[in-house]
Amino acid sequence: MSDAAWRLLDLAPTSDEAAIRRAYARRLKQTRPDDDPEGFQTLLAARDRALAEARRRPPPPPSESPVEVLPAENPAAPDPAPALVVDVSPPSSEPAPAPVVRVSDPDPAPPAAELPLVIDVAPLEADRAQWQAAAALADRLPPLDRDAEGAFADWLAGVRRLPHEPRRGVEEALLHALLAAWRGPDGQPVARRIAATRPALLRAAPVFGWPREDAVIAASLPPRDAAVVVQVLRDALPPAPDDPATVLVRTGPWTCLPLQAGDARAFLDGHPHALRAYEAMLRRAPVARRVSAFALVAPHLWAVAYRRWGVALAALAGLWLSFGLCMVATDGDAGRGAAVAAGVAAVLAWAGTAGATAVWADRILVAGAARAARRAGRRGVCAPGERTARLRAAGTRLGAWNWIAIAWLASFPFVVPYVGLVSLAAHLTGR
Amino acid sequence: MAIIGIDLGTTNSAVAVWTPEGPRLIPNAVGEPLTPSVVGLDADGTVLVGRAARERLATHPERTVASFKRRMGTGHVARLGRGQGFRPEELSALVLRSLKVDAEAHLGTGVTEAVISVPAYFNDIQRKATLDAARLAGLPVERLVNEPTAAALAYGVESRREGAVLVFDLGGGTFDVSLLELYEGVMEVRATAGDVSLGGDDFTALLAGLIAADQHVALDGSLPPGERARVVRVAEAVKRGLTGAPEARYEILLGDRVRHGGIARARFEEAAAPLLHRLRAPLERTLSDSGTRLADLAGVILVGGATRMPVIRSLVARLFGRLPLVHVDPDTVVAQGAAVQAGLKARHAALDEVVMTDVCPFTLGIAVTENARTAAATQVMLPVIERNAAVPVSRAHAVTTIHDGQTRITVQVYQGESLRPDDNVRLGEVPVTLPQAPAGAETAEVRFTYDINGALEVEVAVLSTGLQRRQVFRNGANLDEAELDARFAALAAIKLAPRDQAENRALLARADALYAELRGEMRQHVADRVARFERAITEVSGADAAAARAAFAADLDALDDHRFRF
């Protein structure tokens, strides 16, 4: 921990950046850069450290009064340097001082009666020391740029020794730091900065099991940031051979996009029912997520079944209609057996053409969808919204091709048996 | 005894002093706050500085020099007439001397010390040259201050506002951008970037090119120097005219004919697009280095006369999505800031609560070979002090030998952002000797110390022997000690034109320039006025002389107005 930094600033650890700046300004006037170059650099480093730490800390709850160090109020421990008091509001102007949290107080616990009846199970899984170690690691995150690889490797070794649950907390801190490191001045991720953290990503990936469909990423970050992280991780890290993160997502009656889970969420963002169905699918079929072959096949089978119920009914109706027409045309006497044979032949022809066409059409569609997804991924890092829009546009294009394919396929069950039967009947009756 | 602040600019210089009420500008002999940075040599060997010299640019181009700040640190020698050559340091020294004389006359006391402003993007060599110039002028200077920082100092001390402020400093020859954060009396420079060869002069040169093209002349050696100077002068007038009007008309004497023409603002803006594009890169780098969002900027300060151009103002308004700006006098704000810095240095009580921290605007590093096996040919830059590190700063880096039995390391010091040392500015080298050992066994620590004035000191320490070498660079472009002394003596012998005649000389020089440009009746008119004025100043003195001067100046203004109809 950087206690020394806070001590140098004469400030209690806080997440209030303005207070840190004020403390720095106060100390700077005693350590002018032209008088004391080394003191100035130390002070500057302390301030940057404090600011970095403040950004990692959660902001103070709004009801709480600012955290202050007011040694003068404590007669038991008089402070020899009242000039170094950092107070946000001058005490003299406040006749009734707001409640003050003293940093030296070890336990500012609320009254026992007000304790909520919530039992936090997480600390039960690992022992206290490990949680403390995790908190220390989360605080002591080394810089993520290229120069810091050695320090980062040591840090990761520390993380590796932690059990699963405490490790999640560290992972969360790292994710926040990464996001901060990627952001350019306008708040959007910048490719150059992402590239600078790539060595760190490569080192951290095996420790945290990146890339994967990850509850930590989804739970600890806002959805936009989560999508960015998932995308960057996927772009930066080589895919695992049995990458379970690829899921075929049905996007229309027929369309399946092989997508990363993060992409899938972004893709389905505008279709709440589809997103719900997708989440349900992930919940119900965890195996499908893990086994990539099955993940590729299962939604596909579903699509085939869908088509069978939809298109096959129409095809059967057409078949029976043409069979009936055939019976009327041959007038029932000369060739009942021939007519039955013609009916069987018609069924076979229908099944063959429809099946083959369906398989081919599906392969074309799936390949196209895969290409679209790859293209969207290759375009590099872009804003999550833009990426969603691109994927959605790709989905729409595929949808249009779907309808053309449906019309084309649907014509076969009607036309082929009919033409076949009529010509067969004409041949049999000898006309 | 006082410490003064000097803005030694490309086109104009100014001097100011800190008073308890704030910085105060010191007028020169002609009574103006701005002294043109032009040096000319009179026929009798006296040196003219300022207004008078600027007027002689068109009439005596071979005996007058301007814009020498752009050549600072290059060792370029300008010849005035057939006389001796002057280096940019010496020319700057003459300007500084004239400013010093003005300040002493105004303050009534001696000047003990000065703070001089330099473009933030001046490199080590150029900064040393500026210090040499001060030394040649007999002006003790300990502190250099970056121009945008000075501007922000003046602004911050005056307004006491808080927040992030961007200083956009487009002077005559240099462009600097600085982002500062002001809070609690602290003025913290967060990032600085710039372009040392981009300024108002480039826009003038562009207009001169347009005018030359319109009049079918070539702006190269084929044109006599007098005519070239006239084209530049007309271009300057057109540039100023375009500030207030959508089109500027001009009239110029080339060869034997008076030619007329006009330049529309739209045409100028189109031609200036490449220059405007060059303004963007430093802006973007400053914003990204400081990690500041556009929305968080509390204000944009425009500094430098060139920012008066509407094309610059509209560019800034477009880039920042708001009309700039904080209203300060763009010509003198740097000098005022230098005076604030002088006050800070003297620890004036009124500035007790003010602290300024600056940054080193460029990366300083050494050339190293990453891997001995991939040949010595591939050297890369190893940054020791990264750009925009707060100064004063001292950083060290360890380097090792790459060959077995290597006994020498030459630490080559570079400044710049490129990975390849050849693309950066070479500042110098420090050779050290090492004991023989296998490759990688000997380590030397290279320590760079960059002080608050922007001076770099390099120290190389060999760990095993404890040998230390410390070096402050003065390379070939800088003068060495003996030479400095010799030139100081030579310069001291040169007489500046007497101060009390400066105003008359300036007016007469201006009349000469006008005479050279006009023809016929108008020319005769000028000659009459000059004769009358010369008679007046020999016969009368005091208030009457002042009145004659004012009348003469008014006449010249009228003639000038007649010539440039905007």
The model's pLDDT over B36-83, given as tens digits with 9 standing for 90+, comes to 999 988 877 788 888 888 888 877 888 888 888 888 888 788 887 766
State the catalytic residue, choosing from B55, B69, B100, B132. Answer: B69
Q: Tell me, what's the pLDDT at B207?
A: 92
d(CA A131, CA A120): 13
A187 reaches B (C-beta below 8 A) = yes
Q: Does A193 touch chain B (CB under 8 A)?
A: no
Pairing of strands B12-19, B35-36: antiparallel
Measured between CB atoms, does B452 come within 8 Å of chain A?
yes
The candidate with the shortest Cα–Cα distance to A51, out of A104, A103, A100, A2, is: A2
Residue A361 and residue A407: Cα distance in Å, rounded? 12
Query: Is B291 an interface residue toward A (CB < 8 Å)?
Result: yes
Nearest CA in chain B to A28: B355
Please list every residue in chain B whose beta carbon sits closer than 8 Å to the beta carbon of residue A38. 394
Closest partner residue to B293 among A26, A38, A186, by Cβ?
A186
- The total of other beta-carbon atoms located within 10 Å of residue A94's CB is 10
Q: How far is CA B486 from CA B33, B389, B489, B492, B557, in A?
A: 32, 38, 5, 10, 43
Residue B267, helix vs strand vs coil: helix
Active site residue B296: no
Interface check A21 vs B, CB under 8 A: yes
If one counts every other C-beta atom within 10 angstroms of the C-beta of residue B237, the result is 19
Residue A355 has a pLDDT of 59
Residues in chain B: 566
Which residue in chain A has the smallest CA separation from B358?
Answer: A33
Interface subset of A 272-301, CB within 8 angstroms of B: none
User: Which residue of B185, B293, B352 is in closest CB contact with A25?
Assistant: B185
On chain B, the residues whose CB falls within 8 A of the CB of A187 are 293
Enter the tokens of residue A236.
Answer: 């930066």
Active site residue B459: no
Partner B contacted by A184 (CB < 8 A)? yes
The residue among B305 and A303 whose pLDDT is bigger is B305
Question: What is the share, in percent, of chain B residues with pLDDT greater than 90?
Answer: 15
**pTM beyond 0.95:** no
- The first and second tokens of residue B181, run together, are 């954060």
> For residue A42, what is the nearest residue in chain B, using CA coordinates?
B393
**What are the tens digits of pLDDT across the range B129-145?**
899 899 889 888 888 99
User: What distance in Å separates the CA atoms of residue B264 and residue B55, rounded to the nearest whole number?
Assistant: 27
**Least confidently predicted of A147-161, A212-226, B219-233:** A212-226
A22 and B CB contact within 8 Å: yes
* pLDDT given at position A287: 39
**Chain B positions in Cβ-Cβ contact with residue A32 (cut-off 8 Å):** 355
Alpha-carbon torsion (B58, B59, B61, B64), positive or negative = negative
Residues 331-370 of B with CB under 8 A from A: 345, 352-353, 355, 357
Amino acid at A217: I
- Give chain A positions within 8 Å (CB) of B448: none
Chain A positions touching B183 (Cβ under 8 A) are: 21-22, 25
Of A100, A74, A105, A96, the residue nearest A88 (C-alpha)? A100
Least confident stretch, A96-105, A203-212, B328-337, B381-390: A96-105
* A185 min Cα distance to partner chain B (Å): 5
Q: Is the pLDDT of residue B413 over 70?
A: yes
Q: Answer whether B22 touches A (CB < 8 Å).
A: no
Strands B364-369 and B186-195: unpaired
**In this model, does residue B443 exceed pLDDT 80?**
yes
